[in-house]
Structures are given as structure tokens and as C-alpha cells.
């Protein structure tokens, strides 16, 4: 049977759950399709489930762990009556109203829910290098999450690929376990913020492999090295590592909306006047529409905007 809702929120990171808190408090009884734990791109709670300490979310003076922060967002949404469903949206039809959404739980035959409005908060996921060995050894020494997998590398050397805040955050976290952390960066300057750079340079367990491009992840059933080459000399080198953490940025999760919502050239969903998408009644928030700020707090702020925009839109239609 197809359920009918005024608001369906797709995604349950900071943006989706803030949209849920606000729309639930506005008595819109939102249904939140929160994703599935087994999925890499749609895990409930979003990317913060894969992070460690969050030190810059306002209000948490001593920091808070990502998963704990998301558990609090979720409890708050549930407290106001948001209907949190552990399932993944598999297809949407935005060509007619009410909109229709299919889910893994509801199957492919009929839409699980029809919605007067939709809030898209599907977030982004980690980019991969695309080099030989990476895919094959994912989960066997190749990882995108130090919090999840760092423990397996106690007293072993590891590499982190990337030069942004994510890479240094991963590297710093890994110093708790690994014997040595080599940050492999394709340039000589880091992109990361000054405070993260200062911390990484101060660690005696972190070393840098500058101007280095990864060619291959080596190993049969587990990682035994990383082949890199120097961008200027072309010289190749093998780093002796047991783990490789890829931290080179993210791409927005937009596949559900291909051909239905306008996207910017960089692949992120376009928004107009706040959180409006190119389809009236569909609103967008969080990392799926933000290639610039990508912070938990900005995602949460945009989720609030989407909920307020939905409320006004439904009101204007007499609902
Ligand atoms: P990012 O800032 O886009 O950095 C990506 C890094 O990966 C860059 O150094 C880039 O090199 C490198 N890279 C990209 N593609 C590559 C490839 N194919 N091969 C090798 N290297 C590649 O991404 P991010 O670090 O995930 O950060 C995203 C946003 O989240 C930023 O705004 C960041 O400040 C924020 N963030 C904040 C915190 C914090 O405050 N604690 C933690 C994590 C993330 P180039 O520099 O040469 O382009």
C-alpha cells in the first residue's frame, strides 16, 4: 500500500534530521527515509557516522563524537514525532504531484509513499582514487574511515592519501594506533586549515610524502604497500604500509534525481531562493547541494531552511 505524506525527507545526516525536527515541530508529520546501515552512500546518520571527534559544532565545548551527535539529532526528531524509517529510496517520480517514492522496504512494484513535498538531503560520499588494487582491497587494508578501521592497524605503518582537512583528521586519529602515518599528497602545499596543519606537523608519528601520485595499491589478500611516483622526477617508490586511507574529497549523492532536478556543472543539485530545487515542492539541503562549506553546522542550517520553505509552500497550497 502506498502511504500518503505531506513531507518526505530523504536522508538522515545533519541536514535531513534538522529538516525533520523543524517539520515535525510544525506538525507536518514528516517521514524520514534514513537509509540502510549496509550501504556506503546511504548509511543512516550520514558522513558524521564515519568521523571521530567533532570540535567545531557550536554548543559542544569539549567536542562530541560524530555518531553520538547524530544519535542526538535522531532522538530529537523522534521526540517531536518524525517517522524515521530504515530504508533506502530507490526511485523517485517528480514529474507529477503528489510525488512518488519507491524504497527497498516497499519493493519495486509500487511506490512506498506519495508526498506533497520532498526534502532532498542525500549528502555526499567519499571519492576514490580509481587506481589498481584499490577496489579489490577495500575492506582488506584500504579504507575511507579511520574511525571505523584504525583499530586494525595497531603498531603498523599506514598511508593517508589527500591534503585537505579530512586527510589530516584521519592521519591524526591514526596516530593513536599506527606505528607511522605517511600522508601522501600530490602537491607540496596542503589544502587543510592552518590549525590542522599545525597539529599534523607537530606529531612525531606523521611524515609527509610530497608531490606524490598514487599508482597502485599493492597486495593480494591484504595491503602490503603503496606504489607512488614523484610528479616532477617521475621516480617511482613503494611505501611499506599495511593500510591505505583514502581522504580526497567527496561527490554528491544525486543518482536518484538524474534528469529530474537541475544540477550545477560540478554535479551538485542546484537551489534557487533558499532551498528550492528546479521542481516546485522539492527542496534541497545539506552536502548534496553544497560544494563549498560542507560542514555539519551549515548542513543543519540548510535543513532548517528547507523545513521552513516546505512549511510555507504547503501553506500557500492550502495544506
Ligand atoms: P578537500 O578539501 O576537497 O581536499 C581534498 C584533498 O584531496 C586535496 O588536498 C586534493 O588535492 C586531494 N585530492 C583530490 N583528488 C585527488 C586525487 N584524485 N588524487 C590525489 N589527491 C586528490 O576535501 P576534504 O578534506 O574532504 O574536506 C572537505 C571539506 O570539509 C572542507 O571544507 C574541509 O574544511 C571540511 N572538513 C573540515 C574538517 C574539520 O574542520 N575538522 C574535517 C574534515 C573536513 P589538491 O589540494 O591538490 O586539490
Tell me, yes or no, if 148 is annotated catalytic.
yes
Helix (H) or strand (E) holding 301: helix 296-316
Cα–Cα distance measured from residue 319 to residue 315, given in angstroms and rounded to the nearest whole number = 5
117 C-beta closer than 6 A to ligand 1: no
**Cα 190 to ligand 1 centre (Å):** 9
Annotated catalytic residue, options 6, 42, 145, 290: 145
pLDDT over 90 at 239, yes or no: yes
Q: What is the DSSP string of 275-289?
A: TB-SSTTEEE-GGGG
Cα–Cα distance measured from residue 304 to residue 80, given in angstroms and rounded to the nearest whole number = 15
188 C-beta closer than 6 A to ligand 1: no
What are the pLDDT digits (tens) for 48-103? 887 777 888 999 999 999 999 999 999 999 999 999 999 999 999 999 999 999 99
35 C-beta closer than 6 A to ligand 1: no
- pLDDT score, position 41: 65
Annotated catalytic residue, options 75, 93, 135, 148: 148
DSSP H helical ranges for 80-149: 146-149
- pLDDT score, position 15: 98
Closest CA to 247 of 170, 142, 174, 136: 170
Determine which residue's CA is closest to atom 48 belonging to ligand 1. 191
Give the C-alpha distances (Å, rounded to integers) separating 290 from 12, 154, 293, 304: 16, 36, 6, 15
What are the pLDDT digits (tens) for 268-286? 999 999 999 999 999 999 9
The answer to whether the Cα torsion of 246, 252, 255, 258 is positive or negative is negative
pTM to 2 decimal places: 0.81
Closest CA to 105 of 113, 97, 94, 93: 113
- Return the percentage of the chain with pLDDT > 70, whole number: 98
**Cα 7 to ligand 1 centre (Å):** 34
Mean pLDDT of the chain: 95
**Cα 248 to ligand 1 centre (Å):** 5
Amino acid at each position: 500500500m502506498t502511504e500518503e505524506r505531506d513531507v518526505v525527507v530523504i536522508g538522515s545526516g545533519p541536514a535531513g534530521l534538522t529538516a525533520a525536527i523543524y517539520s515535525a515541530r510544525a506538525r507536518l508529520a514528516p517521514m524520514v527515509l534514513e537509509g540502510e546501515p549496509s550501504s556506503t552512500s546511504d548509511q543512516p546518520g550520514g558522513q558524521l557516522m564515519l568521523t571521530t571527534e567533532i570540535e567545531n559544532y557550536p554548543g559542544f565545548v569539549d567536542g562530541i563524537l560524530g555518531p553520538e551527535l547524530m544519535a542526538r539529532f535522531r532522538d530529537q526528531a523522534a521526540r517531536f514525532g518524525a517517522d524515521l524509517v530504515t530504508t533506502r529510496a530507490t526511485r523517485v517520480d517528480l514529474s507529477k504531484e503528489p510525488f512518488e517514492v519507491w524504497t527497498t522496504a516497499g519493493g519495486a512494484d509500487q511506490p512506498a509513499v506519495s508526498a506533497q513535498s520532498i526534502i532532498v538531503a542525500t549528502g555526499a560520499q567519499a571519492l576514490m582514487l580509481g587506481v589498481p588494487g584499490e577496489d579489490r582491497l577495500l575492506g582488506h587494508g584500504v579504507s575511507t574511515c579511520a574511525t571505523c578501521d584504525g583499530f586494525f592497524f595497531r603498531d603498523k605503518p599506514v598511508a593517508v592519501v589527500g591534503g585537505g582537512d579530512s586527510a589530516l583528521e584521519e592521519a591524526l586519529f591514526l596516530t593513536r594506533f599506527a606505528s607511522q602515518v605517511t600522508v601522501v599528497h600530490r602537491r607540496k602545499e596542503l589544502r587543510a586549515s592552518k590549525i590542522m596543519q599545525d597539529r599534523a606537523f607537530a606529531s612525531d608519528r606523521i611524515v609527509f610524502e610530497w608531490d606524490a601520485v598514487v599508482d597502485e595499491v599493492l597486495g593480494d589478500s591484504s595491503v602490503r604497500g603503496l606504489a607512488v611516483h614523484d610528479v616532477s622526477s617521475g621516480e617511482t617508490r613503494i611505501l611499506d604500509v599495511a593500510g591505505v586511507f583514502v581522504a580526497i574529497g567527496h561527490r554528491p549523492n544525486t543518482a536518484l534525481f538524474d534528469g529530474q532536478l537541475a544540477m550545477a556543472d560540478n554535479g551538485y543539485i542546484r537551489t534557487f531562493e533558499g532551498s528550492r530545487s528546479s521542481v516546485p515542492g522539492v527542496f534541497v539541503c545539506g552536502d548534496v547541494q553544497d560544494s563549498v562549506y560542507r560542514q555539519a553546522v551549515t548542513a543543519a542550517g540548510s535543513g532548517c531552511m528547507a523545513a521552513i520553505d516546505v512549511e510555507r509552500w504547503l501553506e500557500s497550497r492550502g495544506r
